[in-house]
């Protein structure tokens, strides 16, 4: 049963509120309409495109909050952050992040997304990775979106903060990492 335009737009609005980083393509698939229809619906509803939604949230919330990194030093875009607790970032796998012959993402980009998120979630002026244990669970391809979720587990017996990061494409785990982070509130003199 096909939905009316008003019904579709209401469901679209609710879906974007539920999943703010959902793409127009994913919405088009979900509602079985063209991407252009989704764009027109968003424009009528005054909802900016996904990138603009994320950028405005990131600028408003985290520019002053992240202490160990500048927002532009984070690989991917942070969409949620609670210092010393948890963080989420997204990374769209574009042509420049993949091997040209097979369109598979280079692993160091997935690692860099997870590692920079582990640094960003630490509420100190200096946070450095002392040790990491990582696992790649499947290849990521050009055009896919990687969502990394970091959780601060607490301090280990060496006084290092343990941060666990799991990265997903859709609902599938593609990367896991446990990062042991050195942190210090001292000024580094690099400013």
Which option is the CATH number for 5-47: 2.30.30.100, 1.10.10.10, 3.30.479.10, 1.10.3720.10?
A: 1.10.10.10
Three-class SS state of 80: strand
Query: How many residues are given for the chain?
Result: 191
- Per CATH, is 70-184 categorized as 3.40.50.620? no
Q: What is the pLDDT of residue 157?
A: 92
- Tell me, what's the pLDDT at 190? 45
Tell me the whole-structure pTM to 2 decimals.
Answer: 0.66
Q: Contact, 136 vs 109, CB < 8 A?
A: no
- What does the domain layout of the chain look like in residue ranges? 5-47, 70-184
**SS3 of residue 111 by DSSP:** helix
Confidence at residue 62, expressed as pLDDT on a 0 to 100 scale:
47
The predicted-structure confidence for 90-116, as pLDDT tens digits, reads as follows 999 999 999 999 999 999 999 999 999
Q: pLDDT band for position 191 (50/70/90)?
A: very low
């Amino acid at each position: 049963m096909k939905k009316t335009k008003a019904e579709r737009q209401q469901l679209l609005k609710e879906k974007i509120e539920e999943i703010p980083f959902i793409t127009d393509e994913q919405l088009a698939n979900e509602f079985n309409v063209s991407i252009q229809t989704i764009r027109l619906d968003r424009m009528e509803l005054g909802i900016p495109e996904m990138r603009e939604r994320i950028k405005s949230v990131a600028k408003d919330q985290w520019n002053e909050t992240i202490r160990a990194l500048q927002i532009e030093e984070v690989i991917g875009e942070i969409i949620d952050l609670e210092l010393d607790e948890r963080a989420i970032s997204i990374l769209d796998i574009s042509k420049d992040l993949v091997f040209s012959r097979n369109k598979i993402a280079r692993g160091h980009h997935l690692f860099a997304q997870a590692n920079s998120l582990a640094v960003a979630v630490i509420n100190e002026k200096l946070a450095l990775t002392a040790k990491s244990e990582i696992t790649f669970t499947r290849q990521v391809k050009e055009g896919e979106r990687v969502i990394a979720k970091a959780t601060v587990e607490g301090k280990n017996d060496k006084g290092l903060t343990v941060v666990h990061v799991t990265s997903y494409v859709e609902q599938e785990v593609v990367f896991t990492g446990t990062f042991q982070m050195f942190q210090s509130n001292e000024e580094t003199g690099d400013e």
